[in-house]
Chain A
Amino acid sequence: MDNFQSKFLEEASDLINQLEQALLTLEQDTNNPELVDSIFRIMHSLKGGGGMFGFENISNYTHKMENMYDLVRQKKLKVTREMLDVTFESADHITSMLNDDGSKAAEIAANEAILNKRIDALLNGDSETEAIAATTNVQTADANAEGVQSFYIKVKPYERIQQNGTNPFFLIDELSGLGKNKTNIFYSAIPDFENFVFDETYVYWEMILATDKGEDAIKDVFIFVEDDCEVTIQKIADADIFPMEGIEPLLVCRHDFPFDLEKIKSLANAITALEKAKQEKAAKEADAGDEHIKKFTKESSISGIRVASEKIDQLMNLVSELITTQAGLNLYADNHKDNELTRITESLENISRQLRDTAFSITLIPIDYLVVRFRRLVRDLSREVGKEIIFDARGAETELDKTLIEGLSEPLMHILRNSIDHGIETAEERTAKGKPPEGKIILQAYYSGSQVVIAVTDDGKGMDLDKIRSKAIDRGLINPDEQLSEKEILDLIFLPGFSTSDKVTNISGRGVGMDVVKRKISDIRGTVSVSTEKDEGTTITIKLPLTLSIIDGMLVRISDTDYIIPLSVIDTIFAVEHSKIEKSFNNIINIEGVQYPFYYLRDEFQIEGEKPEREEIIMVKYDDKKIGIVVDHITGEYQAVLKPLGKLYRQQDVFSGASILGDGTVALVLDTHKVINQFTKYNDN
């Protein structure tokens, strides 16, 4: 596949994303002309791009969709549920055409035939489905779209304009035909009689025009004289300014005195703003539920640039290298007590730090990126299982590292599936329990310290602790007489091969359970926990580090090797005599009256050499316990740029990566959770 085609693919999947978002919003506000417009435009772009880059099938298909939405635009066709369904399925259809390598051609063709039939039915209007009731804010939207706008137009013909056979005054005539206007003519540039050339133009003019034809119509007037005159078109207001109070004195024509445009504008703005506020208030009172629409329109106006993700990765690598080099320079400056060097090093460090922060912020993507997909998922699945479910996403603007976003998609999808399939009851069950018939799933994202928390809450039936317990006993995961706390019982669902649903459905019972969710989340260094209340619902909480590539750590040393332990897991640090460790029984040490289990890393890592007399024991958090890890020496805090250890060391997962120190050597970053897991297992064996 050539470069252009892959560019198109990327663009097309973006467009389909936008399409889905627009459709979901349109579903709630079926008469919003802006949304219909944007769907039409997306289809149009897909058609154009498809044709240009050799995706004829996409081009042909989107052509039909484009036609359909054009009819909606012209109000010849109404948005129906069937139409939305067909468009949703078309989005999937286009996606499968985009991803097809030729192997699914037959399947796609069959699907297309079915969709075509449905589109034809819609176009012929013999569809049986009823139109979705119009919402109340239609009228205001309509009034806006077709409203009168006021423009300021200044035309300065070049002297040669008449030599091309254009009579500049015809332009005024033509503009006057568009609507109510006032024109001001400037004669001041006419030269003395001696210098006057008969076929040159010295006059220019300005005009205030109120028209309902739009800016494009005005531009069309000048289409043939573009090169012969200087035209300025400015919109003054989204309304007809002529009837406005107090505007008339400003529109008096006095030759050679320009309109006081600033004054006209500010007055017009004030009046339209007032008008708008009144309308908005009315609209708000009429319908408070159009937040999504506003958000959608707002988002499409946010500007940004597209950058290939490799470029960002490259930038991040360079920044990481800079931070590492900076650490080296700091070390050098510290060792050479040179004031000038210290000063330069400090100011350079300041810049590096700012650059690092900016670069890191570039790699962040709002969770909203995922939410669009989830809305679609919830919509489709809840219909499939015949439940009414409202999906609410809060804090979708919360930003996360792009690699985290990628890693989150699948586990979150699975959690949502579970909630829809098992969590939320059917409408009848809910009514019987005195709950509103439609279920609710809330996805909430927020920052908490150096972590991002994502919580998925449903108001379904909750998890049955007894059922989990008995299932775990059935599966041989626990002993029947084992006493477990509520939390411990809930943690059982994260064990491999655990599924509480009695029947396997094609939605969530695909043989993967919460254990996969947990594994995927810990792959991106996150944790997952669950809390539940019978008949009230379940909350699954995911906690993630803000970024994957930089961590605050504690630099420690064992023998001649440096290690980094993330600060986030460290609880306390004690100095300890080696003799005390020697004497300890079963790796339990007594510190200040408390018994702590500990791991002596020197032995676990089989590092030879002389053991120091005094060592340091670092208490790290392991679930809700504290476990000691013994190292030789603590160097100090260190901000580590995390680098992967690479494929060859993939077995050594007790290290989450490596980091390059100021002197150019490599330190290994310990994943204490895995260290404890691995050596516990090893010792048990």
Chain B
Amino acid sequence: MDQEIDSFISFKLGEEYFAISVSQVLNILQLVQITKVPTAPDYMKGVINLRGTVLPIIDIRMKFGMDPIQYQRDTVILVLNVIIENEKVDAGILVDSVKEVFEIKKDEIMPPPGIGSKYKSKFIEGIYKMSDEKFVMLLDIDKIFSSDEVVMLKESVDSEESATAKEIE
């Protein structure tokens, strides 16, 4: 093989497309009842029972600074295996809908945009242009989970401040 090929799974948050490497996705679940954990930050929706283990569920929309998720027919949980502080942890993220699995050659991935982008480039591995001309953002999910802050960049100073403010609360 000349080129390294990686598979990604794409999903929708609002009107935007994101993708995560399939090597980090363990499972796709239908929405079930989530037990809320009081005193936790709002984007941490709670826990569910995944075949006898307790799985934390994250509202990734809120983590990205979007509105909280509205549960709909297409809402699913992506079960991910992420590395937080050198430790493997399973966690679920709520997404509006799952689109497809697709293969990308390494050199087709464009570097994350610099200034002027909506999301912090350190959380984005790259950008890929789909066949239908839509752009999909390939996420570095480990970094997203390791960070306590809200991921959105728009006004980075503000969001960082509000994240710290939240902690003090």
**Measuring CB to CB, which residues of chain A are less than 8 angstroms from any residue of chain B?**
317, 320-321, 324, 561-562, 604-607, 643-649, 651-652, 654-655, 657-658, 660, 664-668, 678
With CB as the reference atom, state the residue of chain B lying closest to A606.
Answer: B38
| A654 and B35 contacting across the interface, CB-CB below 8 Å | no
A651-B39 Cα distance, complex, nearest whole Å: 9
A432 to B44, CA, bound (A): 65
Determine whether the beta carbon of B56 is less than 8 Å from that of A645.
yes
Q: Taking A647-B87, A665-B33, A666-B47 as contacts, is the C-beta distance between A324 and B38 under 8 angstroms?
A: no
B52 touches A668 (CB 8 A): no
A578 to chain B, nearest CB (A): 20
- Report if A643-B54 is in contact (Cβ < 8 Å); known contacts: A607-B38, A668-B37: yes
**B49 contacts which of A607, A644, A666 (Cβ < 8 Å)?**
A666
Chain B residues with CB under 8 A of A665: 33, 35, 49
* B84 within 8 Å of A (CB atoms): yes
Q: Are B35 and A643 in contact (CB-based, < 8 A)?
A: no
Supply 5 A–B pairs (Cβ within 8 Å), ascending by A.
A645-B47, A645-B54, A646-B56, A655-B37, A658-B47
Check B91 for interface membership: any CB of A closer than 8 A.
yes
Partner of B39, one of A561, A654, A657, A660: A654
Question: By the criterion CB–CB under 8 Å, are A666 and B39 in contact?
Answer: no
**Extra 19 A-B pairs, beta carbons < 8 Å, given A648-B89, A648-B91, A649-B40:** A324-B52, A561-B36, A643-B53, A646-B89, A647-B84, A648-B56, A648-B58, A649-B37, A649-B47, A651-B39, A652-B40, A655-B37, A658-B54, A660-B49, A665-B33, A665-B35, A666-B46, A666-B47, A667-B35
Partner of A668, one of B35, B90, B145: B35
Shortest beta-carbon distance from A363 to chain B in Å: 17
In the complex, which of the residues B36, B37, B89, B91 has the most CB atoms of chain A within 10 Å of its own CB atom? B37
Query: What secondary structure prevails in chain B residues at the interface with A?
Result: strand
Tell whether, in the assembled complex, residue A647 and residue B49 are in contact, meaning their CB atoms are under 8 Å apart.
Answer: no
Which of B33, B46, B49, B51 has the most C-beta atoms of chain A within 10 angstroms of its own C-beta? B49
Chain B neighbourhood of A604, CB < 8 A: 38
Flag whether B152 is at the interface (Cβ < 8 A): no
Expressed in whole angstroms, the Cα–Cα distance for A652 and B39 within the complex equals 7
Residues of B near A320 (CB, < 8 A) are 52
Q: Specify which of A664, A667, A678 lies most central, judged by the most chain B CB atoms within 10 Å of its CB.
A: A664
Whether B48 is near chain A, meaning CB under 8 Å from some CB there, is: yes
- The distance in angstroms between the C-alpha atoms of A562 and B37, with both chains bound, is 11
How far apart are the CA atoms of A607 and B46 in the complex, in Å?
Answer: 13
Q: Which of A324, A645, A664 contacts B37 (CB 8 A)?
A: A645
Residues of B close to A561: CB separation below 8 A: 35-36
- A663–chain B nearest beta-carbon distance, Å: 9
**CB of B118, distance to nearest CB on chain A (Å):** 25
CA–CA, A336 and B99, complex, Å = 41
- In angstroms, Cα B87 to Cα A644, docked, is 15
Query: Which one of B35, B36, B55, B89 has the greatest number of beta carbons of chain A within 10 Å?
Result: B35
